[in-house]
A and B are shown apart, each in its own frame.
Chain A
Amino acid sequence: MSSKISSDATAAAVPIVEVSELTRAFGSRRAVAGVSFSLAAGECLAVFGPNGAGKTTLLRVLAGLLKPTSGSARVSGIQLPGGALARSRIGLISHHTMLYEALSPRENVAFAARLYGIRDARPRVDDALGRMAMLERGNTPVRSLSRGMQQRVSIARAMVHSPQLVLADEPYNGLDDSGARALTALLQELRGAGTAIIIVTHNLAEGLSLATRAAVMQSGRFVRQDTVDRIDAGSYTRTYREALGTGG
């Protein structure tokens, strides 16, 4: 993975994600309701909001797991749902680990690497596991690992193909301090190399430390969207608390 990561100053101008009036409904309920934003290479959007606000649905649409009901979303210029090419550019970290319990971390990550077309997977697998400090436990069945360790493996799995866009849904869930530091360092390194990141989290401080832009989502909409350098932390926290107070 490290061989793919190189700083590129021009990358910042390239739009990786373009979302326009994106809506996803389940029956009459609109989980995502007219969300619009764009994200250039190397940018990180932190999305905050109460449970049920539509954050996970938004990420699932962008990952190609759900079809939008209306509106449009593009990843690297490819209209979603854009088939294999679009999916090959995305790394998904879910609050589910998406791992196979009977396989080891090394087997899980190698399986993912091969699905993404990486023929000589071993060095990439070792690199990804090494970054999440999971090399030593690389051959232990996943079912024997703690929830935090499984989350580390899940992150390695999502990063092994050096995605252009990382979708991270509560990626810090279950991680201890060292795991959280490793993840933050990895996400910052990816950002520096031009990877766009969308991170969903309930932790304002954590999200804002990584993000270049931030949005508060409520009832399927972005009720506030700013670049981080323009954010007044006090008013932002108030908006967030108000959103939490009203529920999804």
Chain B
Amino acid sequence: MADILFAAWLIARKDLTIEFRTRSAFFSAVVFALLSMAIFYYAWDPTAVTATDLAPGVLWVIFTFSGLLGLHRSFGVEAADHAIDGLLASPVSRESIFLGKAIANLIFVAGVQLVAIPALVLFYNLPLGNVAGPLVAIAVLAAIGLVAVGTLFSAMAVNTRLAELLLPMLALPFFVPIVTAAAQATAKLLSGRPVIEAAAWLKLLLAFDIVFVAACTLAYPFTVED
């Protein structure tokens, strides 16, 4: 297990180094998130819908689509000059490759969230108060599920001619239960309900994470078998 995690960290570190050098996907995702937020803000009629009702939906729609930008790039860097062959021919396990990619994607999504959540709070003047901690927990749990599913489908889509189109088509249906649970839990918190009311959604997110991480890690080797 230690070997699998060590190799996964090597791969994640390599991916993050490449992203840090190029910064293309991260800046694209952050700009996309901020622009979408601005569009939602100016299209919003505060007399019809309150900020606390609108913000959870906006937040998770934006995370879903900005996350896809990074997920698409995840295996895209391996496609250039067949770098993936170097990984697959090396003695690291297929599971390490998947986990390494997923860890890098998780850090990528967390980075986007780190910019987008404060921006959303400012745009909609949200009463964070003492719900900041539980909100971070929701963001982390939802990100884990989204990244597990997205990383698997990124691996499947990368060698197709319509990868940019195929990845969202494959991944979005699987994102629905995660985004629903995350948006519901966020809504409970932002509307000032007791944290315990969001607990059921948090547990559901945790269950999704366990199932998706396990299933996607086990399924990944089949996506690279020729």
Q: Is the CB of B85 within 8 A of A98?
A: yes
The secondary structure that dominates the A interface is loop
- Which of B7, B81, B88 contacts A64 (CB under 8 A)? B88
With an 8 A cutoff between CB atoms, is B156 at the interface? no
Establish whether residues A115 and B22, one from each chain, have CB atoms under 8 Å apart when the complex forms: no
Q: Which residues of A contact B77 (CB under 8 A)?
A: 100, 102
Report A175-187 CB contacts with B as 1/0, cut-off 8 Å: 0000000000000
- Given A65-B226, A67-B225, A115-B7, verify A99-B83 contact (CB < 8 Å): yes
B28 interface residue per 8 A CB criterion: no
CB pair B226 A100 closer than 8 Å: no
Nearest first, the 6 closest Cβ-Cβ pairs linking A and B are: A98-B86, A96-B82, A84-B91, A88-B91, A115-B90, A102-B21
Q: How many A-B residue pairs have CB under 8 A?
A: 71
Bound complex: CA A99 to CA B82 (Å): 8
Q: Are B88 and A101 in contact (CB under 8 A)?
A: no
In the complex, which of the residues B17, B90, B92 has the most CB atoms of chain A within 10 Å of its own CB atom?
B90
- A: contact size bracket: 20 to 34
Please give, as numbers and ranges, the residues of chain A lying within 8 Å of B10 by CB-CB distance.
Answer: 111, 114-115
Could you list which residues of chain B lie within 8 angstroms of chain A, going by C-beta atoms?
7, 10, 14, 17-18, 21-22, 77, 80-83, 85-93, 225-226
Answer whether A99 and B85 are a contact pair too, CB < 8 Å, given A84-B92, A84-B93. Answer: no
Interface contacts beyond A96-B85, A101-B81, A103-B21: sample of 20 additional A-B pairs, CB < 8 Å, sorted by A: A63-B85, A63-B89, A65-B89, A65-B226, A67-B225, A87-B89, A87-B90, A90-B89, A97-B81, A98-B85, A99-B86, A102-B18, A102-B22, A102-B77, A103-B18, A111-B10, A112-B90, A115-B7, A115-B91, A116-B90
Contacting residues, chain A, for B90 (C-beta < 8 A) = 87-88, 112, 115-116
Nearest neighbor of B96 in chain A, beta-carbon distance: A115
Q: Which residues of chain A have C-beta atoms less than 8 A from B226's C-beta?
A: 65-67
Task: Please tell me if the beta carbons of B86 and A112 are within 8 angstroms of each other in the complex.
Answer: yes
Which A residues have a C-beta under 8 Å from some C-beta of B?
63-67, 84-85, 87-88, 90, 92, 94, 96-103, 107, 111-112, 114-117, 141, 157
Q: How far is the CA of A112 from the CA of B82 in the complex (A)?
A: 14
What's the Cα separation between A111 and B21 when bound, in Å? 16
